Amino acid sequence: MDWKIQLFKLNYDEREVEAVARVVRSSWLTMGEQTKEFESRFAALLGQGAQATAVSSGTAALHMAMLALGVGPGDEVIVSSLTFIAAVNVVRLVGARAVLADCRSLEDWNIDPADVERKVAAKTRAVIAVHYAGYPCAMDEVEQVCARHRIALVEDSAHAIGATWRGRQCGTFGTVGCFSFFTNKNLSVGEGGMYVARDPEFTRRGRMLRSHGMSTLTLDRHEGRAISYDVLEPGLNYRIDELRAALGLVQLDRLTGANARRGLLVARYHEQIDRIPGVSIPFRRVPPDVKPCYHIYPVLLDRGIDRTKVIAGLRNQGIQSSIHYPAIQRFSAYADTALGATPIANDVSNRELTLPLYPGMADSDVDLVCDALKAALA
């Protein structure tokens, strides 16, 4: 398909090309200086004494979080309902039961602490909260409900790279924060992620899980710091490689500027969408002490509008759009699972439409999308 405006475009130039070329020339492809530097600079961005462990994907980070917390058979984990399937899958794969918590309202699609409160059971071990579209959850209320019931908080910060709540970076509130650097995220490396913890014990566990539970790294042996290794506990191979870490470093330099550009585009969208009948905007009023990072641009179509027709209408005008997200209850793998009722999230799943957003988008592209949306609704 030859789109006039794609949903997303990479924010890359020759600097990314050069960063990868430098790694190739160095002949050191995994767990080296680039990875160390990426971790330390990502941790510095986060502050709060957070330590960052670079991994192969956001899903890997979520899986490691469940394993590090010791979540297993008989346990329950409460997950934001309007999200990508990864968090629910990892809960299931460690043998625990995922329970979905609804969105707070048709304006605030983040997890509803009151619904978490209703769904907490004796077996509940953790909450996985997503900062949908890069809009931070109300962290005071989420933290309170977790503290009251002595359950762990894991942040799925895949959308929230650089977003802050009351001056504090998303991903630094939970016991573990999980970031994704998948192609279409605010920081792109292709496949990659970050496991973040403030408690050194959780970092130690994360590092064991990342690399086979081994006591030393290949680099230590290469540099003569160790000749062999022990295996201290069972682990996986969830390592990132140097090429991706090098991409991550360049992308980290661009993050603040890219997020600011996204914010300007979102403001321009808001102004025009406000004037289109039949379309509303979630997270329309963000408190002044909350700084979203605008990962995607979601809108909500009024009841009775045929979304499939709107998507086709946009496509016919060369505009790519998407849906974030289909209801998890509808997926075949979860059709027979009691995930809990989430009427607001399911309503949003039926009516949500995601419009193109990426830092390289021109102001005039926003205008084109809005005009095309008006035409598609007519």
Ligand X SMILES: *Cc1c(COP(=O)(O)O)cnc(C)c1O
Among 34, 83, 110, 169, binds ligand X (CB under 6 A): 83
Q: Taking CB under 6 A as the rule, does residue 158 contact ligand X?
A: yes
My answer on whether omega of the bond before 229 falls inside 30° of 0, hence cis, is no
Nearest approach, Cβ of 222 to ligand X (angstroms)? 28
Q: What are the phi and psi torsion angles at 269 (to 5°)? A: -55, -50
Strand order in the sheet with 168-169: 168-169, 164-165, 290-291
Indicate if 119 belongs to the active site.
no
Stretch that binds ligand X, among 31-39, 84-92, 144-152, 352-360 (CB under 6 A): 84-92
Distance CA 338, CA 357 (A): 35
For residue 147, the SS3 value is: helix
Nearest approach, Cβ of 327 to ligand X (angstroms)? 15
Paired with 179 in beta bridges are 194
- Rank residues 52 and 372 by Cβ distance to ligand X and give the closer one: 52
Give the residue ranges of DSSP H helices in the chain: 14-26, 33-46, 58-68, 86-93, 113-119, 139-148, 200-210, 218-222, 242-273, 307-316, 343-351, 363-377
Stretch that binds ligand X, among 28-36, 83-91, 228-236, 334-342 (CB under 6 A): 83-91
Stretch that binds ligand X, among 44-52, 54-62, 102-110, 358-366 (CB under 6 A): 54-62
Nearest approach, Cβ of 184 to ligand X (angstroms)? 8
Q: Taking CB under 6 A as the rule, does residue 159 contact ligand X?
A: yes
Q: Taking CB under 6 A as the rule, does residue 109 contact ligand X?
A: no
Given the residues 4, 9, 119, 185, select the one marked as catalytic: 185
Q: What are the phi and psi torsion angles at 79 (to 5°)? A: -125, 145
Structure-block tokens of residue 286:
């963000």
Question: Which among 242, 227, 190, 260 has a CA at the least distance from the CA of 20?
Answer: 242
Distance CA 326, CA 317 (A): 24
Q: Taking CB under 6 A as the rule, does residue 84 contact ligand X?
A: yes
Q: Taking CB under 6 A as the rule, does residue 292 contact ligand X?
A: no
- Rank residues 19 and 90 by Cβ distance to ligand X and give the closer one: 90
Stretch that binds ligand X, among 82-90, 96-104, 167-175, 214-222 (CB under 6 A): 82-90
Return the residues of window 167-186 that contact ligand X according to CB under 6 A: 180, 182
Question: Which among 286, 315, 307, 297 has a CA at the least distance from the CA of 349?
Answer: 307
Question: Which among 337, 326, 342 has a CA at the least distance from the CA of 98?
Answer: 337
Number of chain positions touching ligand X (CB under 6 A):
14
Stretch that binds ligand X, among 51-59, 64-72, 139-147, 259-267 (CB under 6 A): 51-59
Q: Taking CB under 6 A as the rule, does residue 81 contact ligand X?
A: no
Q: Are strands 297-301 and 168-169 parallel, antiparallel or unpaired?
A: unpaired
| Residue in the shown chain whose Cβ atom is closest to ligand X | 58
Q: Taking CB under 6 A as the rule, does residue 349 contact ligand X?
A: no
Instruction: Using the structure block, give the residue that is written with the tokens 């998507």.
Output: 311
Among 34, 53, 59, 251, binds ligand X (CB under 6 A): 59
- Contact positions toward ligand X, by CB under 6 A? 57-59, 83-84, 86-87, 130, 156, 158-159, 180, 182, 193
